[in-house]
Amino acid sequence: MKRIYNNTKNILKNNHSFLAVLILALAAGSSSCSDSLDVVPIGKLMSGNFPVTNEDAVAIVNGVYQPNVSISTSLGYMIDLTSELEQNGENPNSGGGLLGVLSIEPTNSYNESTYTALFRGISRANDAIDKITASTTISPTIKQRTIGEAQFLRAYYYQYAVQFWGDVPLVLHNVDGTNTTRASVDEVFTQIVQDLQDAASNLPSVKEYSSVDKGRATKGAALAFLSKVYLVWGQLSDTSGDTAKKDKFRKSVEAANQVTDYQLEEEYLNNWSNSNRNGKENIFATQHAQNQADDGSGGNHLVHCSFSSGFSQSLPHVAPSSSKFYEEFDNDDQRKEGTYVKVLYNPATGEDYTFDLPRYRKYIDITDASRSASNRNIDRTVIRYAEVLLIKAEALNELNNAPNAEAYDAINQVRRRAFKHFPVTAGPTAHDITPGLNYEDFKKALQQERVFELTYEQTRRLDLVRWRIYVKTLKESGIPAKQSVELKHYRFPIPQTQREINPDGLWQNWGYDGYDPAKTGQNPYAGFE
State the Cα–Cα distance between residues 180 and 160, nearest whole angstrom.
19
pLDDT higher than threshold 50 for residue 250: yes
* Closest to 119 (Cα-Cα) out of 39, 18, 59, 200: 39
Q: With respect to residue 348, please indicate whether it lies within any of the assigned structural domains.
A: yes
Q: With respect to residue 336, please indicate whether it lies within any of the assigned structural domains.
A: yes
State the Cα–Cα distance between residues 32 and 301, nearest whole angstrom.
8
Question: CB of 361 within 8 A of CB of 341?
Answer: yes
State residue 183 phi and psi, 5-degree precision: -90, 155
Q: What is the pLDDT of residue 360?
A: 98
State the Cα–Cα distance between residues 55 and 20, nearest whole angstrom.
12
Residue 56, helix vs strand vs coil? helix
pLDDT tens profile 74-112? 999 999 999 999 999 999 999 999 999 999 999 999 999
State the Cα–Cα distance between residues 239 and 166, nearest whole angstrom.
13
pLDDT tens profile 187-213? 999 999 999 999 999 999 999 999 999
What is the domain range of residue 329? Answer: 307-366
Average pLDDT value over all residues in the chain? 89
State residue 270 phi and psi, 5-degree precision: -60, -20
* Closest to 59 (Cα-Cα) out of 107, 122, 152, 131: 131
pLDDT higher than threshold 70 for residue 24: no
Cα-trace Rg, the chain: 22
pLDDT tens profile 291-338? 554 444 458 989 999 999 999 999 999 999 999 999 999 999 999 999
Q: With respect to residue 449, please indicate whether it lies within any of the assigned structural domains.
A: no
The pTM of this model reads: 0.92
Q: With respect to residue 526, please indicate whether it lies within any of the assigned structural domains.
A: no
> DSSP strand E in 306-377: where?
318-320, 340-346, 351-360
Model confidence at 176, in pLDDT bands (50, 70, 90)?
low
Q: With respect to residue 333, please indicate whether it lies within any of the assigned structural domains.
A: yes
Model confidence at 527, in pLDDT bands (50, 70, 90)?
confident
Q: How many CB atoms lie within 10 A of CB 438?
A: 11
Q: With respect to residue 328, please indicate whether it lies within any of the assigned structural domains.
A: yes
Measured between its terminal Cα atoms, the distance across the chain in Å is 45
pLDDT higher than threshold 60 for residue 14: no
pLDDT tens profile 426-476? 989 999 999 999 999 999 999 999 999 999 999 999 999 999 999 999 999
CA 197 to chain centre: 19
Quote the number of domains for the chain.
1
Q: Note every long-range contact of 178-184, with CB atoms under 8 Å and residues 24 or more positions apart, other chains counting.
A: 178/41, 178/42, 178/43, 178/501, 178/502, 179/502, 179/505, 180/42, 180/43, 180/502, 180/505, 181/504, 181/505, 181/506, 182/505, 182/506, 182/507, 184/239
Q: With respect to residue 193, please indicate whether it lies within any of the assigned structural domains.
A: no
State residue 223 phi and psi, 5-degree precision: -70, -40
Percent of the residues in the chain that have a pLDDT greater than 90, as a whole number: 81
Q: With respect to residue 32, please indicate whether it lies within any of the assigned structural domains.
A: no
The conformation of residue 515, written as its DSSP 8-state character, comes to: B
